[in-house]
Structure 1
């Protein structure tokens, strides 16, 4: 099962995160068959995992979901750079469907060697010049490089983190891609939200963040006691409104505490007036 690495392509650097030493040893043993992957560290807790990942900046992390001092999502929230992630979990309560769309792959414990090899093959196929060792047709064109899809991958990881941190409830924070990492944006800090195609801009006093969620989806998920849709392109924080002024056409202009002025369209005006005045 060995996958040789090309002299021109260095091996992928991997870190194994699991609170159980036998589980870490098993992953390390399975990876020893892959010349294209070097294990550069391991950790058994959230805090050690964050320190190890930030220090080594690996290409790949095998990430346990359940740990004594938190979970794998806490690791994702705190690390400085986002590597490829293969989750491992003994429970399916963490929404396997979300894992399938959010991470490179997941391993449901106990897993067989063949399932492990499939997961690793998917990682290798994401990197230029690295064949999937499980591919029955090794002469096919390689899978697209991670480089070309890094933004989409980070957005999917952010979505997965959001689902894990606020399952079914109105969230207190939104997870967004920011540079090479995923960061939480506290909704208490968000003054207004602007539609940006299929994405949304989150505006705070100091920064603007891009969420992979569309403004319609955000409007449905946010706490209606704190946020209101005022236009097809805008959501405002009710606590950020300084005052409303009539626009003489049945709508309003809302002035926010940071000086931003946003139009409240006529169709949203009655509800906004009743909620603010």
Structure 2
């Protein structure tokens, strides 16, 4: 089932596209964003199969988030300005829809998305089983740990700080994105550019004023403060 995110700064436009996509039983709208920052947060967390992307946003150009997308995420441009067609295909957009969106053109775009996903996941392909253990390498040593014992991972420059439920930590070689690709999702979810948490290891969450929060893990009462965007993302994950 294609998982898609709608990015448009006009709520009526998002509602209209949502109604039109409801005609396709296999399309799952997993999130909506009205600003560049919201869009970046969503795509980093949800890693959708496709984004329906408006270009003229009040917070900037929709093209600004293209570099934040996984190469596997398809871009379907939805805009009122046909002059962006060449720019859209310069960034390898899967399709280009002009507002008001024609239902037949939307169906064509959805079919193209289905075909693209079918090519990425051949019929009968078996998904790789998530690893039960993961190797953490550092300059001084290497250690194999159970994935289930990892509570969170934090980016530290070109390294990743891995926290375990025993309250041990390891500074492992490799960027946070490398570990994100290796860990099963769920329960591991990226809350920000510098933080991945194991949802199954969270002991409690304290929702604070100003849209912020504090994560508490059972091991030694460790507390992790969250910014507004990470707190909002965690709420979305826990509400699903």
Q: Normalization by structure 1: what TM-score?
A: 0.41
State the structure with more CA Rg. Answer: 1
Q: Which has the higher contact order (CA 8 A, sep 6+)?
A: 2
Q: Normalization by structure 2: what TM-score?
A: 0.47
